[in-house]
Amino acid sequence: MRRGPVTRALGEHPIGAVFVTPYVVFLAAVFAYPLGFAVYMSFHDYFFTAPGAIVERPFVGFDNYVTVLSDPAVRRAFANVLVFLVINVPLTVVLSLGLSTALNSAIRWRTFFRVSYYVPYVTASVAVVGVWLFLFNSNGLVNSILGPLAPDPSWLVNSKLAMPTIAVYVTWKQLGFFILLYLAALQNVSKDLYEAASMDGAGRWKSFLNVTVPGVRPATTLVVLVATVTGANLFTEPYLLTGGGGPDGASASPVLIMYQRGIEQGNPDIGSAIGVLLVIGVLIIALIERRFVGRED
């Protein structure tokens, strides 16, 4: 196709701009202001005031960032969330790909299986946390089954196990969503490829590696990115499951600390600085992951 000046200025399908307009207006109306505001706050000595109250909010440069970065609790929270991601993301990818491949084949009780894997995802964390507390506390069901193998101190109050337990919990909770993503993607893998593979004498495992895995690569990218982003924004679980990031901050997440500093303690400037650092961190991780898992198009 020849590219005229209009095409060059607006792109090949200017109608696309019309299609995304509602979404862009929505982003601008709902997110641009609060987000810009958060960035603004992080560079000022800022706190929320009632309308009409006159206070000074001097520009302080990177002071808030210095405060945040020199705070051991914040550094610990960032380290914690890295531990979380290192456990959660690979576990999510492996389990959801494996389970969805199994579910995609003709198998008895398929509907039942799909529903059961999806149930945790549909349920509010607030609701499920109660059961997990009951299952994982020191004299809960899990420990009474494990008997002498039960960890001491128990899962959620053990500073080494609290974060991994949360990571497993979140994997369990979110897995249904990722299974759905993979199931939809598996519909796209051409049956011919499997036939060709089995003609070449490839076993089930081989054809999984050589056909399925490359076939769902775009979905894998998506799963890795979404799992990373949801994981980095971890909040409800340390808030409810380990009573505010316990024991002794071992399960505190950056968003939890941001919530404590910014909303509970009334220092939104500090909170925003944590938030901005987190956003930058996640973007960097996401870029690295895209490099490794492969671009989606």
Partner 1 sequence: MKLQAGLLALVLAGSLAACGDSGGGSGDADAAASARGPISIWYSNNAEEVAWGKQMVAAWNSAHADQKITAQEIPTGKSSEEVIGAAITAGNAPCLIFNTSPASVSQFQKQGGLVPLDTFPDGKQYIEDRSGDIAQQYKSSDGKYYQLPWKSNPVMIFYNKKAFAKAGIDTTKPPLATYDEFLATARKVVAAKAAKFAIYPAPSNEFYQSWFDFYPLFAAESGGKQLVEDGKAQFNSDEGKKVAAFWRTMYADKLASQEKYTGDAFVDGTAAMAVVGPWAIATYKGKVDWGVVPVPTSSGKPANEIHTFSDAKNVAMYSACKNRGTAWDVLKFATSQEQDGKFLTATGQMPLRKDVATAYPDYFAKNPDYKVFADQAARTVEVPNVANSITIWQTFRDAYSKSVIFGQQDPNEALDGAAQKVDELAKQS
Partner 2 sequence: MRLRFVGLLLGAFVFLFPFYYMLIGSLQAEPDPTVAGAFPEPGNLTLHNYGEIDKAINLGRSLVNSGIFTGGVILGTLVFGVLAGYALARLQFRGRGLVFNLMLLIQVVPFQLLTIPLYVLIVRSYGLADSYGGMILPFLINSTAVFVFRQYFLQLPAELFDAARIDGASELSILWRIAVPLVKPALLTGVLLTFIGPWNEFLWPFLITKQQDLQPLAVSLSNYLTTVSARAANPFGAVLAGACVLAAPAVALFLIFQRRFISANISSGVKG
Residues that bind partner 1 (CB under 8 A): 28, 32-37, 39-40, 47-53, 55, 73, 130, 133-134, 137-139, 153-154, 156-157, 159, 242-249, 260-261, 263-267
Report the residue number, 163 or 219, with the smaller CB distance to partner 2: 219
DSSP conformation class of 44: B
Binder of residue 69, out of partner 2, partner 1, none (CB less than 5 to 8 A by kind) = none
Binder of residue 94, out of partner 1, partner 2, none (CB less than 5 to 8 A by kind) = none
Least distance in angstroms from the C-beta of 95 to partner 1: 28
Least distance in angstroms from the C-beta of 106 to partner 2: 10
Least distance in angstroms from the C-beta of 102 to partner 2: 5
Binder of residue 244, out of partner 1, partner 2, none (CB less than 5 to 8 A by kind) = partner 1
Binder of residue 242, out of partner 1, partner 2, none (CB less than 5 to 8 A by kind) = partner 1
Closest CA to 92 of 2, 177, 191: 177
Report the residue number, 159 or 198, with the smaller CB distance to partner 2: 198
Rounded Cα gap, residues 39 and 31, in angstroms: 12
Report the residue number, 54 or 149, with the smaller CB distance to partner 1: 54
Rounded Cα gap, residues 36 and 129, in angstroms: 34
Rounded Cα gap, residues 139 and 264, in angstroms: 33
Least distance in angstroms from the C-beta of 260 to partner 1: 6
Q: How many CB atoms lie within 10 A of CB 105?
A: 9
Least distance in angstroms from the C-beta of 112 to partner 2: 7
Binder of residue 264, out of partner 1, partner 2, none (CB less than 5 to 8 A by kind) = partner 1
Q: Is 281 helix (H, G, I), strand (E, B) or coil?
A: helix
Binder of residue 154, out of partner 2, partner 1, none (CB less than 5 to 8 A by kind) = partner 1
Give, in degrees to the nearest 5, the angle at Cα 263 between 257 and 268: 90
Report the residue number, 215 or 271, with the smaller CB distance to partner 1: 271
Binder of residue 49, out of partner 2, partner 1, none (CB less than 5 to 8 A by kind) = partner 1
Rounded Cα gap, residues 160 and 138, in angstroms: 15
Least distance in angstroms from the C-beta of 126 to partner 1: 12
Name the token pair of 244: 């505010």
Cβ-contact 219, 237 below 8 angstroms: no
Report the residue number, 248 or 296, with the smaller CB distance to partner 2: 296
- Give the rounded distance of the alpha carbon of 205 from its chain centre: 29
Rounded Cα gap, residues 62 and 65, in angstroms: 5
